């Protein structure tokens, strides 16, 4: 027992008053009259305090507004072209480009280019994810490693991955290895950085809970840190994809020939060689379209689901 006076005497009640002062007073005595009463009270309070489930319906403005914006942009483009300020072969109109896309489709060149690039981009991206995730977790969890390599990784993100193209061509020649190498150098640092910043933003409380619940280092990383860092990790992945797609295009434009297949970048380069602006514009629009489609069909739904399930979506303009 603590070595201090226990003034139990002080607390002895002076209660000769009334035997029937059984007035229940909130916060001082029991407020409910039994187990069933308590259960009922709680159920009532629970339903008062939780939001009714809202239905999710299709919001057409999400579809119509971007389409309208696109139409407006194309109309402006057409209007500019019809003013005739520039030669038509330098600035082709939307219809010219559409015609060229039709021709490329007919020659099956378009499908080949999109497929070649997309396949490379995705394979390169997935391998980058497989490499960057464990490295990122390790760097985020082990302080000396992070101190040592953190600046380098951030630096690599700033370095344009195109800078690696000449080196890659010298090392690997005009092969797919060159293309993949450039993609890795673009994607891996940005995924690592995304994961690290995701881990940095985890509320410290989660780690304490993990410790209290008895998680070891590995369980902490896999069961708590990784899922907690998922929003940051996902934006890292998005950025990683963007970097791998960009790096891929750069590599394809510069490294042409050898065993490197015909991708969108190659198509762009071919348009330049032929001085055919419609091919150039078609290639640019296709590169953009693939980027937008991947964002809309892959990342946006995953991100939305992730944020909604954590209650982070309410009030955002998404």
Partner 1 sequence: MPVVLENLGKRFGDGAPVLDDVNANIGAGEFVALLGASGCGKSTLLNIMAGLEVPTSGALEVPSDGAAFMFQDAALFPWLTARENIELALKLRGVGKAERRIKANELLELVHLGEAGDKRPHELSGGMRQRVALARALSQDRQLLLMDEPFAALDAITRDLLHDELERIWKETGRTIVFVTHNVREAVRLGQRVLLLSSRPGRVVQEWAVTEEHRTDAGLAGQLTGVITARLREEIRRHAK
Interacting residues with partner 1 (CB under 8 A): 1-8, 10-11, 13-15, 17, 21-32, 35, 38-39, 41-43, 45-46, 49-51, 203, 205-206, 208-215, 219, 223-224, 227-228, 230, 309-311
191 vs 230, beta carbon nearer partner 1: 230
CB of 230 to partner 1, least distance (A): 7
User: What does the alpha-carbon distance between residue 93 and residue 196 come to, in Å, rounded to a whole number?
Assistant: 45
CB of 193 to partner 1, least distance (A): 22
140 vs 277, beta carbon nearer partner 1: 140
38 vs 167, beta carbon nearer partner 1: 38
CB of 318 to partner 1, least distance (A): 16
What DSSP assignment string belongs to the chain? --SS---HHHH-----S-TT-----TTTS--SSSHHHHHHHHHHHHHHHSPPPPPP---THHHHHHHHHHHHHHHHHHHHHHTT-S-TTTS--HHHHHHHHHHHHHTTHHHHHHHHHHHHHHHHHHHHHHHHHHHHHHHHH-HHHHHHHHHHHHHHHHS-GGGHHHHHHHHH-SSHHHHHHHHHHHHHHHHHHHHHHHHHTS-HHHHHHHHHTT--HHHIIIIIIHHHTHHHHHHHHHHHHHHHHHHHHHHHHHS-STT----HHHHHHHHHHTT-HHHHHHHHHHHHHHHHHHIIIIIHHHHHHHHHHTT--TT---
Burial of 91 (0-12, 13-18, 19+ CB in 10 A): middle
Q: What is the per-residue burial (b if ≥16 Cβ within 10 Å, else e) of 149-178?
A: bbeebeebbeeebbebbeebbeebeebbeb
CB of 216 to partner 1, least distance (A): 9
CB of 32 to partner 1, least distance (A): 5
CB of 137 to partner 1, least distance (A): 16
220 vs 298, beta carbon nearer partner 1: 220
91 vs 202, beta carbon nearer partner 1: 202
48 vs 170, beta carbon nearer partner 1: 48
Compute the C-alpha angle 33/36/38, nearest 5°. Answer: 60
16 vs 67, beta carbon nearer partner 1: 16
CB of 23 to partner 1, least distance (A): 6
CB of 314 to partner 1, least distance (A): 9
229 vs 267, beta carbon nearer partner 1: 229
CB of 305 to partner 1, least distance (A): 11
147 vs 310, beta carbon nearer partner 1: 310
């Amino acid at each position: 027992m603590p070595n201090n006076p226990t003034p139990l005497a002080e607390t002895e009640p002076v209660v000769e008053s009334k035997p029937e002062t059984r007035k229940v007073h909130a916060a001082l005595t029991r407020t409910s009259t039994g187990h069933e009463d308590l259960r009922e009270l709680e159920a009532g309070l629970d339903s008062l305090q939780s939001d009714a489930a809202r239905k999710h319906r299709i919001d057409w403005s999400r579809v119509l507004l971007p389409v309208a914006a696109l139409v407006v942009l194309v109309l402006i483009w057409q209007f500019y072209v019809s003013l005739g300020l520039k030669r038509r072969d330098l600035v082709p109109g939307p219809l010219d480009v559409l015609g060229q896309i039709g021709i490329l489709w007919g020659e099956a060149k378009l499908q080949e280019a999109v497929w070649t690039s997309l396949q490379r981009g995705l394979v390169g991206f997935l391998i980058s994810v497989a490499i960057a995730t464990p490295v990122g977790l390790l760097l985020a969890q082990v302080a000396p490693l992070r101190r040592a390599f953190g600046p380098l990784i951030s630096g690599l993100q700033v370095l344009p991955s195109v800078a690696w193209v000449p080196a890659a061509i010298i090392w690997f020649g005009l092969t797919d290895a060159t293309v993949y190498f450039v993609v890795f150098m673009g994607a891996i640092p940005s995924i690592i950085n995304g994961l690290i910043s995701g881990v940095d933003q985890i509320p410290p409380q989660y780690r304490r809970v993990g410790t209290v619940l008895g998680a070891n280092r590995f369980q902490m990383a896999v069961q708590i840190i990784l899922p907690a860092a998922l929003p940051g990790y996902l934006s890292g992945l998005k950025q990683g994809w963007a970097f791998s797609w960009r790096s891929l295009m750069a590599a394809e434009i510069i490294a042409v020939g050898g065993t490197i297949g015909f991708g969108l970048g190659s198509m762009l380069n071919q348009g330049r060689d032929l001085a055919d602006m419609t091919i150039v514009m078609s290639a640019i629009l296709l590169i953009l379209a693939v980027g937008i489609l991947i964002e809309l069909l892959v990342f946006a739904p995953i991100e939305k689901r992730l944020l909604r399930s954590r209650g982070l979506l309410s009030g955002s303009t998404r």
